[in-house]
Structure 1
Amino acid sequence: MKSDALSYAGFDETHLLEACTFCSKPLGHNSDIFMYRGNTPFCSQECRQEQIENDEARERRWKVSSKKSTEASKKSTTVQTGTLVASN
């Protein structure tokens, strides 16, 4: 039986809480489910923590690559001005 809140929000409870997002272990009906970022289920604190660490590492890599990309674009758009003198 679906809860009205999940049905109203467009979620099917049977699919949403079917398996651990990290290890794909089936989630039991009478076992604890550890949630992360709203509606992402995990079978244990360990699986949830692994996902959190993976997400944080991905975000750090994105920030570093974004910073490098910004610095590279600043360097490539640098314009030097000056006077060039040529004589024969």
Structure 2
Amino acid sequence: MGSRMLSYAEGDDSHFLEACSLCSKSLGHNSDIFMYRGNNPFCSQECRQEQIEIDDASDKKLRVSLKKSRETNKKSAKSNVQTGTLLVA
């Protein structure tokens, strides 16, 4: 097998530790690499923290959007309910 690195999907992912996922700064062979969410490398704690904050903001926006969508769907479902009396002869 040699020194070839494999990703989770068994594909060639041998270049994923060459650059920071946020700022694209080259990652040195003898420098610290800060990982986040599996295989996302960062050159510093600051870059990793910035990505965490970006992801948190995106997640929050998505949750708010989904909540609004659910509320709209509930209102729509309520307005489609028909009331009245059914007479059967």
Q: TM-score range by the shorter chain?
A: 0.7 to 0.9
Offset, 1:77: 1.2
Aligned amino acid, residue 72 of structure 1: T
Are residue 32 (structure 1) and residue 29 (structure 2) matched?
no
* 2:13 equivalent in structure 1: 12
Cα–Cα, structure 1 residues 38 and 11, in superposed 2: closer, same or farther, change >3 Å?
farther
**Residues 24-46 of structure 1, C-alpha deviation per residue, up to 9 Å, x if partnerless?**
10111111000001100000000
Would you say how many aligned residue pairs link Structure 1 and Structure 2? 80
Aligned to 1:86: none
CA RMSD of aligned residues (A): 1.9
Deviation at 1:80, TM superposition (A): 4.8
Q: In the aligned structure 2, how far is the partner of 1:12 from the partner of 1:65?
A: 34
CA contact (8 A) 1:34 1:41 kept: yes
Alignment of 1:1-88 (within 5 A): 2=3, 6-7=5-6, 9-13=10-14, 15-78=15-78, 79-82=81-84
Q: Please, what TM-score do these two structures have when normalized by structure 2?
A: 0.79
Identity of aligned residues (%): 65
Please identify which structure carries the higher helix content.
1
The amino acid across from 1:77 in the alignment is: A
Per the normalisation by structure 1, the TM-score is 0.80
**Aligned residue identity for 1:38:** G
